[in-house]
Amino acid sequence: MSIEGDARRLKLVIILSSSYGLLSFLFSFIGLASGQAAVHLHEYSLGGILTEISGHFLFGAVAAIPLLQIDLLLMAGSMAVLIDSDHILGALNLNAGSRPAHSILYAFFSAAFLFYLTNRLRLADRMKLKLTSLAPIALVSHLSYDVFVAFQNGGSRGGSFPLLTPLNFGLIPLSYLSWIVLEAVSIIASISVEVASRRFSLAGSKAKA
């Protein structure tokens, strides 16, 4: 399937982003096994929630700029926000603590999920690569903003994350300056994906010639 027209591309972004959001929400239930207290939404003010959402969206979107497609930029931003969907369980007073989707294993799992969906949608190889890669890119940029905020709020201490959930719910600390490294890594990953996807299209057109 070739994606033509802005409306069609927007529809694709909405379908894939909502599927990713649902996956992230379902994955959050794993946190019920952690025995740790959830982050409760009511602990934030409305302004705090809006800042959190805009910050995650911005960091995710910036990370995807090298992919040179506005729809991918919007999708990366939305996915970076949706990683925090465990807050919904917190708002329901369920102790799905430890922010399960903040995990390297979740990045692999969600990438496999996006690859499966893009394969089912019969997208071109270069789009499959770009869309699948958004899973780790969104997570790394998400962690970057979380660490950035932790630094703003807490001074010298960065955030701690359950990077190995569901194998281990232990929180692994990241130093405060790692937010720069994490955002840089996500941007470099996007550049690499863009370069690789061009080689894909080049190889495809040579094969057809």
**What mask, x for binding Zn ion by CB under 5 A, covers residues 75 to 94?**
---------x----------
Near Zn ion by CB under 5 A, which window of 22-30, 44-52, 110-118, 143-151?
Answer: 143-151
In whole angstroms, give the CA distance from residue 143 to residue 32: 21
Size of the site for Zn ion (CB under 5 A): 2
Residue length of the chain = 209
Identify the helix (H) or strand (E) that includes residue 172.
Answer: strand 172-173
Near Zn ion by CB under 5 A, which window of 6-14, 103-111, 139-147, 190-198?
Answer: 139-147
**What mask, x for binding Zn ion by CB under 5 A, covers residues 35 to 74?**
----------------------------------------
- Collect contacts of 20-24 with beta carbons under 8 A, ≥24 apart: 20/78, 20/79, 20/82, 20/110, 20/113, 20/114, 20/135, 21/78, 21/79, 21/82, 21/85, 23/109, 23/110, 23/113, 24/82, 24/83, 24/85, 24/86, 24/101, 24/106, 24/110
Measured from the CB of residue 116, what is the shortest distance to Zn ion in angstroms? Answer: 25
Measured from the CB of residue 121, what is the shortest distance to Zn ion in angstroms? Answer: 28
**What mask, x for binding Zn ion by CB under 5 A, covers residues 144 to 183?**
--x-------------------------------------
* Residues binding Zn ion (CB under 5 A): 84, 146
